[in-house]
Amino acid sequence: MSALQPLAKLVAALLREDDRRCLLGEDVRSGGMLGLSRVAAEDDQLRARLLGSPLTGAGLIAHTGGLALAGLRPIVLLPSAAALLEGLPALRELGRLGWRSGDQHGVPALFVAPDGPGFGIGGDAAESAEPTLTAIPGVQVWCAGRSEDLCGYLRSAAEFPSADQPSGPRVLLLPRSVIVRDLMTNVDLDAGLSRAPTAVLREGDRATVFAWGSALAPALAAADACAKQSGIQVNVVELGCLAPLDEGLLVKLANATGKLVIAHAGPRRGGVGAELAALLADHSILHLDAPIIRVTGEADLLAGHEEHLASPTAAAIAAAITKVVHY
């Protein structure tokens, strides 16, 4: 079963569970570009809470903020994370509202967007938007990795703190390569993530691999290959929350092995991987036994037939693991 089907069922379930929730998007009343609102659109009791939104990113984000400040819990389904970049000034304002109001006004709005390569259409749609989004103060950025965790991420991201604990807006990035190509079975729509978004998914003592989004599956495959071929056992850590980073946990995991690989889609420069490498160089330098190796995509903007170059391969990550372990 495609990952999109249980996600669509979960969107409808979230609306039924909390009448403060409403659904926004350019075409949510007709099912949405990816069909994530189709189940809700077919339910007469929910259809009134499906709101067609402006075509401009700034207009959509401003409208969402107004609904959140009025006491609703809007969930925004976007065709691409690039829509958030188009409305960047408005998103920055939502992130600032908490501290501007002395933490009196939270913005419990969730933006759900496909991100990175995977549709084969190239251009902006193949970009990874997280470097820009994670730089916005007050905005939480989550990024799912494995197909079996997609529904858990969506449910957990949609569950904001209570009214007396104001929260900033959240962005949940869904890797295109995961939501389109992976299959899901036995999905529990009632369960959120059973762990923190940033967690160790595979244990080992020779090196630590940090990965997220579409690079997570190749990282796990690379770790398995290294274990089978050369007996090298490594930690694989999913960074499910890219902003704010769980700095204490990341430093602890880096110190445990002293040999680090960072894998992610998109370009090397100016991204979350660069920020993570700088953080660990600052706080773990006395524990590092080798340079930090980053394995990333090969280009910024790609034609559709080159999209596979925007994410690191398992072979490239395995080569980096071998290099850092034997440094």
Q: What is the pLDDT of residues 202-219, one digit of tens each?
A: 999 999 999 999 999 999
User: Do the beta carbons of residue 88 and residue 94 sit within 8 Å?
Assistant: no
Q: Which CATH number does the domain housing residue 21 bear?
A: 3.40.50.970
pLDDT(237) > 90 = yes
Residue 237 and residue 88 in one domain: no
Is 259 contained in some domain?
yes
Residue 217 and residue 298 in one domain: yes
Least confident window among 4-18, 80-94, 273-287, 310-324? 80-94
Residue 205 and residue 265 in one domain: yes
Residue 70 burial (10 A CB sphere; 0-12, 13-18, 19+) = exposed
Is 305 contained in some domain?
yes
Residue 176 and residue 202 in one domain: no
Residue 64 burial (10 A CB sphere; 0-12, 13-18, 19+) = buried
Residue 152 and residue 286 in one domain: no
Which of 156, 181, 206 is the endpoint of a domain? 181
Structure confidence by residue, pLDDT tens digits, 22-70 = 999 988 988 887 889 999 999 999 999 999 887 788 889 999 999 998 9
The number of domains in the chain is: 2
Is 234 contained in some domain?
yes
Structure confidence by residue, pLDDT tens digits, 102-117 = 556 678 999 999 987 7
User: Do the beta carbons of residue 126 and residue 297 sit within 8 Å?
Assistant: no
Residue 172 and residue 222 in one domain: no
Q: Which CATH number does the domain housing residue 268 bear?
A: 3.40.50.920
Is 17 contained in some domain?
yes
Residue type at position 66: G
Starting at the edge strand found earlier in the chain, the sheet holding 208-211 runs 198-202, 235-239, 208-211, 260-263, 293-295
Domain limits for position 32:
4-181
Is 190 contained in some domain?
no
Average pLDDT, the chain: 88
Q: Is 210 helix (H, G, I), strand (E, B) or coil?
A: strand
